[in-house]
């Protein structure tokens, strides 16, 4: 496989050096693998820290900035960051108002963020944690006990980030983040496997003419493998799975997310089918976001995430944000 890299061993460090050069508004510590808002800590503001394995960009480092995360901790490709990174990030953003850890439900992330919370509290930092587990495809997987954390991570980080930027207290920011997660469901599909730099070949075998329904963001197995389907058929399958588990009583945010190698031409066409199905199911749509946000290296495919919102959550979603990966209103 051809890749735009030097050697696999320096992929993450090289990317962080490039990110630092492109975004001087961020403090990027390449050696310690921590990305922080340069204005942190902000007096009276709850700090938001997230992180996970690299390869899902712009998640999480691309979501650091006003209106979203205070800091992010990138691990090696598809590998959890270590507790020292998270403690360093928490110390960098803590203003005395506390820090919220936003954790995707993958075993390594959960264990390391739990350990980091204990270490940070030993240093006098008040820490709360919210687990994101929105994927309805499977209950358990190779990487998780329980549902995986996927596209809803963006909704949690954006909406909780807006609440924190307003100066809301830690208990309220945590509650908002939990509400967003509880109101969100996701389902993904892979048209091709991804290729990690270390392996240099596809992580699993997906024959021509087939797709995998319910795939995870690391290439974990999904619900089933089928012959290739049309965009409309995929939208119906994804939304049937989501709406079997979520019965929206109010409008929803919609994320149509590319897995890394799917062109926007296809994603917008897929969104048209998603909107058709939601209309047929009588689900009102408040806002739509289309693009590559929670990716899996060079995987072709897409995921759909719905988040039921009330007026307050929608207000926080619409609040200004300025990060490398998401920006409006500023």
Task: Pick the closest to residue 90 from 115, 114, 105, 70 (CA basis).
Answer: 70
Alpha carbon distances (Å) from 287 to 284, 290, 302, 315: 10, 10, 18, 11
Element (H, E) at 175: helix 170-182
User: Which residue has tokens 């996701």?
Assistant: 186
Catalytic residue (choose from 37, 56, 60, 88):
56
Q: Are 41 and 94 in contact (CB under 8 A)?
A: yes
218 classed as catalytic: yes
Q: Are 195 and 259 in contact (CB under 8 A)?
A: no
Q: In this structure, is the dihedral angle defined by the CA atoms of residues 111, 117, 122 and 128, taken in order, positive or negative?
A: negative
Catalytic residue (choose from 218, 222, 256, 307):
218
Q: Which tokens belong to 34? A: 């921590």
User: Would strands 34-37 and 26-29 be described as parallel, antiparallel, or unpaired?
Assistant: antiparallel
Q: In this structure, is the dihedral angle defined by the CA atoms of residues 106, 221, 214 and 245, taken in order, positive or negative?
A: negative
Using CB atoms within 10 A of its CB, is residue 230 exposed (0-12), middle (13-18) or buried (19+)?
Answer: exposed
Rounded Cα gap, residues 172 and 181, in angstroms: 14
Residues with a known catalytic role: 56, 218
């Amino acid at each position: 496989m051809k890749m735009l890299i030097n050697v696999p061993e320096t992929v993450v460090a090289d990317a962080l050096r490039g990110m630092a050069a492109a975004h001087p508004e961020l403090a990027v510590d390449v050696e310690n693998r921590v990305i922080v808002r340069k204005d942190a800590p902000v007096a009276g503001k709850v700090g938001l820290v997230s992180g996970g394995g690299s390869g899902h960009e712009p998640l999480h480092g691309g979501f650091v900035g006003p209106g979203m995360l205070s800091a992010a901790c990138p691990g090696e490709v598809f590998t959890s960051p270590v507790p020292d990174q998270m403690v360093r990030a928490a110390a960098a953003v803590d203003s005395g108002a506390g820090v919220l850890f936003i954790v995707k439900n993958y075993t390594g992330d959960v264990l390391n963020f739990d350990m980091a919370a204990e270490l940070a509290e030993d240093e006098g930092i008040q820490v709360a944690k919210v687990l994101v587990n929105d994927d309805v495809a499977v209950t358990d997987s190779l990487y998780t006990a329980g549902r995986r954390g996927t596209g809803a991570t963006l909704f949690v980080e954006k909406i909780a980030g807006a609440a924190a930027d307003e100066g809301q207290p830690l208990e309220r920011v945590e509650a908002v983040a939990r509400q967003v997660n509880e109101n969100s469901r996701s389902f993904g599909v892979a048209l091709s496997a991804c290729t990690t730099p270390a392996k240099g070949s596809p992580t699993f075998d997906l024959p021509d003419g087939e797709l995998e329904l319910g795939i995870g963001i690391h290439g974990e197995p999904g619900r089933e493998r089928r012959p290739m389907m049309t965009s409309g058929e995929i939208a119906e399958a994804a939304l049937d799975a989501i709406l079997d588990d979520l019965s929206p009583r109010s409008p929803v945010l919609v994320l149509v997310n590319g897995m890394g190698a799917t062109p926007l031409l296809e994603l917008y066409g897929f969104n048209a089918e998603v909107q058709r199905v939601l209309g047929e199911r009588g689900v009102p749509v408040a806002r739509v976001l289309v693009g590559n946000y929670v990716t899996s290296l060079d995987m072709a495919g897409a995921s759909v995430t719905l988040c039921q919102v009330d007026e307050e959550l929608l207000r926080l979603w619409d609040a200004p944000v300025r990060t490398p990966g998401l920006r409006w209103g500023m």
